[in-house]
Chain A
Amino acid sequence: MAKALQHQDGGTAGAEGTGMTTPGEAQSTALDLDRVIHERMRLGIVSALAVNAHLSFNDLKKLLKTTDGNLSVHARKLEEAGYITCEKFFEGRVPKTEFRLTPPGRRALEDYLDHMEAIIHATREA
């Protein structure tokens, strides 16, 4: 859980010395959410790639039931953040785009999961 509450500067939020978060602190830690993957479509892309070595553009589009433009925009943001890689190549004469999750992307998803669990835990404790 401590991992979930880590600030970007490396410090940790939470009740002093207990490692727990109070509801008020949970509210404040929500502000530290990784905005890159907090958005639903980007969270979906990262989650889908977490259980597949790679997925093509068309596979992701079908899986997430979205449009070409929407997927392109969000995939680019994840790529800029270094969370996914995008490889373009030709299969015969057909252009293909394939996405993979990077180690920082996997870590970001794990941190995000921990963060969500920390918020739920803090509410239950209260």
Chain B
Amino acid sequence: MSEPQPARPRLLPPPALHLRAMDNLRFIRETMEGAAYFTGVSGIGEMAVGVTALGAAYVASQQSTPAAWLLVWLVEAVIALGVTTAAIVWKARRFEIDLLSRPGRQFALGLFPPLIAGALLTPVLLRAGLFDALPGVWLLLYGTGVVTGGAFSVRTVPVMGLAFMGVGAAALIAPAPWSDGLMAAGFGGLHLLFGAVITWRHGG
């Protein structure tokens, strides 16, 4: 009867070379997509939105009726969305980023729900006669979207979102006549400030 042999560890075959190569290529692609989106927010686009928002704040402050004030900001929202989208597409093309890649979808999934919530809450607040609450709610929800959407972006982006939330909170408790100033400071000033920082640090 033979002596019992010590158990030898079973050697697992190494993964096939081509599978490792495919895995490496996948890793490179995902890292590049993540890194490109990391700095994908366009600073120039943010600054452009800041300029249009300052203009909108001035025009809105000259309006005599709440309906006209609201219309000015709704038009500005459409312009800002167009400018931001165009700027992101321009930067994505410049760095050859696929906008529908996983990081892009993550960004959209973080950004849009609070914006949609803001759009839905607007008529509800108007019906409830809470017109003065609109600037605070808009700034707060926009800031929330920027924080959640920018969670995987450079630190400047979520910090910008937090700044918007701060201005939004201030607008909610500030007297109504301050609304135009806070809207200008938020959508105008913060976009200009952080847009300049993003452009300076991360190009475009």
| Residue ranges of A at the interface with B (Cβ–Cβ < 8 Å) | 23, 26-27, 30, 40, 43-44, 47-53, 55, 58-59, 62-64, 109, 113, 115-117, 119-120, 122-124
Contacts and interface: CB of A to CB of B under 8 A. Distances in A.
Given A113-B28, A116-B24, A59 B38 contact: yes
B17 A63 contact: no
Given A44-B27, A47-B32, A119 B97 contact: no
Contact of B27 (A40, A62, A123, A124): A40
In the A-B complex, list the 5 residue pairs whose CB atoms are closest, starting with the nearest: A48-B35, A123-B18, A47-B31, A119-B21, A116-B21
Nearest to B154: A59
B27 A52 contact: no
Contact of B17 (A27, A43, A117): A27
Contacts of A44: 27, 31
Interface string B35-72: 11011000000000000000000000000000000000
Contacts of A48: 31-32, 34-35, 38
By secondary structure, the A interface counts as helix
Interface in B162-190: none
B154 A119 contact: no
Contacts of A30: 17
Given A50-B32, A52-B203, A116-B21, 12 more contacts: A26-B17, A47-B27, A48-B34, A48-B35, A51-B36, A55-B35, A63-B35, A63-B38, A113-B28, A116-B22, A117-B25, A123-B17
Contact of A53 (B17, B18, B27, B203): B203
Nearest to B26: A116
Contacts of B203: 52-53
A113 B95 CA distance: 18
Nearest to B34: A63
A116 B25 contact: yes
A52 B39 contact: yes
Interface of B: 16-18, 21-22, 24-25, 27-28, 31-32, 34-36, 38-39, 95-97, 154-155, 202-203
29 contacts: A43-B31, A44-B31, A47-B27, A47-B32, A47-B35, A48-B34, A48-B35, A48-B38, A51-B32, A51-B35, A51-B36, A51-B95, A51-B96, A51-B97, A52-B36, A52-B39, A58-B155, A59-B38, A59-B155, A62-B38, A63-B34, A115-B21, A116-B24, A116-B25, A117-B25, A120-B21, A122-B18, A123-B16, A123-B17
B25 A113 contact: yes
A4 B31 CA distance: 21
A3 B146 CA distance: 44
A62 B154 CA distance: 9
A117 B25 CA distance: 8
A105 B125 CA distance: 56
Nearest to A48: B35
Nearest to B29: A47
